Amino acid sequence: MASLTTRHTIVGLIGAGVIYLFWLSRPEWSSDMRFWRSVGDGSLILLYVTLALGPAASFVPWARILLPYRREFGIWFGIFAIIHTIIILDGWVLWDVGQFMGYQYIPTIDQTVRMESGFGMANLLGLLAVLIALPLMATSTDWATRALGASAWKFLHYGAYTIFYAVALHTAYFLYIHYTMSFHRTIPDPNWFQIPFAVLTAILITLQIGAFFKTTARHRRRIRQPS
């Protein structure tokens, strides 16, 4: 098996390549929006790969070859998600809690109002995913597994599924809801990633459900076998 450094290098380059492809696919966007969306979408792809490898390996034998890289995919998802978050906080909402929650000051009426319904909740879901990812990243080592014990480590890393649903809802808001007629600026063209995102999310959920039923069926067969 490849060394830890080699695995991280391979996965890091894959992640950077995915981000670059997203960047190339949206030349009509402004550079700042193009960048933070590319990093965010790239991190999402790495998260989906992380969560899909285990279930996929139970159906497709060759997928087991990639299982040793699952931990690195998860760590690099976290790294790119953190970068995405910092870009948003520093370059878009400017570390302003009100803007983060969707409130803006409108000079013409001299009032601070909420401009996009759901914007704050979507941002909170994204921030929640990053905060949960931090301890998972910190304990994604053999040393942490031994120190915590297998049961405690698995319990902690069940948080990956919370991350998945938080990220999926966060992404869905910005793909399908945010840029609508209620958006108070020029509405950009529909994001091409809308359909691929829906398909990838459906595939991942299907894999998880399928792996659950396959594991349950295997367990029942073992119980029924005579001792």
Domain boundaries, given as residue ranges, for the chain? 4-183+192-221
How far is the C-alpha of 26 from the C-alpha of 34, rounded, in Å? 7
197 close to 175: Cβ distance less than 8 angstroms = yes
Angle at the Cα of 11 (from 6 to 14), degrees rounded to 5? Answer: 130
Q: Which of 66-75, 157-166, 183-192 has the lowest mean pLDDT?
A: 183-192
Mean pLDDT score across all residues of the chain: 88
Tokens coding 107: 């000079």
Q: Name the nearest CA neighbour of 131 among 89, 169, 171, 85.
A: 85
Q: What are the CA-CA distances from residue 182 to residues 115, 117, 118 (Å)?
A: 8, 9, 11
Q: What is the mean pLDDT of residues 146-159?
A: 89
Gyration radius (Cα) of the chain, Å:
20
Which of the 8 DSSP states describes residue 224? Answer: H
- The pLDDT of residue 227: 54
Q: How many Cβ atoms are within 10 Å of 99's Cβ, its own excluded?
A: 19
Query: How confident is the model over 198-211, as pLDDT tens digits?
Result: 999 999 999 999 98
- The pLDDT of residue 109: 77
Q: How many CA atoms lie within 13 A of 176 on its CB side?
A: 11
3-state class (DSSP) for residue 225: coil
Q: What is the mean pLDDT of residues 151-180?
A: 90
pLDDT grade, residue 18 (50/70/90)? very high
Enter the pTM of the model: 0.90
100 close to 83: Cβ distance less than 8 angstroms = no
Q: Name the nearest CA neighbour of 52 among 163, 206, 179.
A: 206
